[in-house]
Amino acid sequence: MSNYSSKIRFQKINAATVILLFILILAGGVVRSTGSGMGCPDWPKCFGQYIPPTNSSQLPADYKQKYVSIRLAKNQRFAKMLDFFGNEQFARRIREDKSILEPEEFNAFKTWTEYINRLIGAISGILLLLTAIYSFSYKIENKWVPILSIANVVIVMVQAWLGAIVVSTNLVPIIVTIHMLLAIAILAISIATYFIVKIYGKQTVDKNVPTWLLSLFALIITIVQIVFGTEVREKIDAVSARLQGAYRDDWINSIGSIFEDHRSTSIIIFITNVALFLLVRKFFTKHSIQQQLMSFAVLMIVLQIVTGIFLSYWSLPPTAQAIHILISTVLFGTQFYLMLNLYKPVNLQGGRR
């Protein structure tokens, strides 16, 4: 296969990976909003099968005890690892978590929701591996393409391992947050490699320092907002479990100040992006990619506010939860790609362009 063909394949697979990662995040949002995270009690198989059952009659009579024992053994190993790295408090928390001993009832909907999420994740992993393989066609033009692509495969492996921990620890909050941040990192790297091979060095404008710095600040605030949103979701999960899914109208009032932090950060995001929108309009033409990306980011912010209102005043409908998560991630991806396009980079092979 010629080097040119490899480059074309890399570009196509890279673009497909970015799209599939957004779909994966949506699938993950559906899993969280429907409470399907424990739909498959084991990992990487689901109830010990590559294709999960559709009815509890297809499972052995002792399946509850069996998977509790397996999960308990995994947690013991994870706790020992935490002890080794000096995090005795977190290790003790996992060892003392009695919810681990509670068996999960089989629910076909939740099982297949989680299974589809895992299937999309597996396909994403394969595409990322192919991206890393074909990235070596750019090793002469830009060494960062293979470096970043390989790094992404390593992060995906960590993410897969962390996925197993998320399942075995019954969705321990801090693990879920790290899981989400790693997903964002994987997405960012995939967008960065796409940018490098498609646009890098082709910008016709110089770096505009104020606009670029404000876009960086906007990106950081969005990441903070996503972390707050993840923590809100974790608190909601805890309240839901305590109230056994009842009294949905009281859930938000029961989670403390984190919801106020989440809402206050959204105001900062709105103000920051309005200022960024004005700067982009000032320095870039109407049909430039910068203005198009900024306009799309503003649209995502408006939709985010709308779904946030639905979540706040309509008792957290699951559909709005999943869409809210997806929009926040699309906003991050748009802002990150905008930031890359506002910056005329230093030649990574040496010297300035």
In the predicted model, what is the mean pLDDT of residues 260-271? 87
Q: Residue 288 gets which letter from DSSP?
A: S
pTM: 0.84
**Co-location of 118 and 49 in the same domain:** yes
In the predicted model, what is the mean pLDDT of residues 82-101? 78
**Co-location of 130 and 252 in the same domain:** no
- What is the distance between the alpha carbons of residues 154 and 161, in angstroms, rounded to a whole number? 11
What pLDDT, on the 0 to 100 scale, is given for residue 273? 95
- The whole domain housing 137 covers 1-198
Of the candidates 175, 198, 221, which is a domain's last residue?
Answer: 198
Model confidence band, residue 263 (pLDDT cutoffs 50, 70, 90): confident
Least confident of 38-47, 105-114, 204-213: 204-213
Residue 232: Cβ within 10 Å count: 20
CA-nearest of 121, 92, 102, 107 to 35 is 107
As a whole number of Å, the end-to-end CA separation of the chain is 31
Q: In sequence order, which ranges of 169-288 are alpha helices (DSSP H)?
A: 173-198, 209-242, 258-283
**Co-location of 143 and 173 in the same domain:** yes
**Co-location of 2 and 107 in the same domain:** yes
Asked whether the beta carbons of 321 and 304 are under 8 A apart, the reply is: no
Asked whether the beta carbons of 107 and 32 are under 8 A apart, the reply is: no
**Co-location of 33 and 143 in the same domain:** yes
**Co-location of 192 and 304 in the same domain:** no
In the predicted model, what is the mean pLDDT of residues 11-26? 95
**Co-location of 181 and 225 in the same domain:** no
**Co-location of 108 and 185 in the same domain:** yes
- What is the distance between the alpha carbons of residues 146 and 138, in angstroms, rounded to a whole number? 7
Of the candidates 198, 215, 237, which is a domain's last residue?
Answer: 198
Burial class (CB in 10 A: 0-12, 13-18, 19+), 91: buried
Q: Is the pLDDT of residue 63 over 90?
A: no
Of the candidates 168, 198, 228, which is a domain's last residue?
Answer: 198
What pLDDT, on the 0 to 100 scale, is given for residue 195? 93
What pLDDT, on the 0 to 100 scale, is given for residue 317? 63
Q: How many domains does the chain have?
A: 2
CATH number for the domain that contains residue 310: 1.20.120
Q: Is the pLDDT of residue 315 over 70?
A: no
3-state secondary structure of 352: strand
What pLDDT, on the 0 to 100 scale, is given for residue 167? 67
- What is the distance between the alpha carbons of residues 215 and 14, in angstroms, rounded to a whole number? 24
| H or E stretch covering 345 | none
Asked whether the beta carbons of 131 and 145 are under 8 A apart, the reply is: no
What's the longest Cα–Cα distance across the chain?
68
**Co-location of 172 and 259 in the same domain:** no
Q: What is the pLDDT of residues 160-203, one digit of tens each?
A: 888 777 766 765 667 778 888 999 999 999 999 999 998 765 55
Q: Is the pLDDT of residue 331 over 70?
A: yes
In the predicted model, what is the mean pLDDT of residues 282-301? 92
- What is the distance between the alpha carbons of residues 224 and 262, in angstroms, rounded to a whole number? 9
**Co-location of 27 and 105 in the same domain:** yes
**Residues 6+ away with beta carbon under 8 Å from 109:** 34, 36, 39
**Co-location of 283 and 176 in the same domain:** no
Residue 320: Cβ within 10 Å count: 19
Q: What is the pLDDT of residues 23-61, one digit of tens each?
A: 999 998 888 778 787 788 877 788 888 899 888 888 877
What pLDDT, on the 0 to 100 scale, is given for residue 320? 75
**Co-location of 52 and 142 in the same domain:** yes
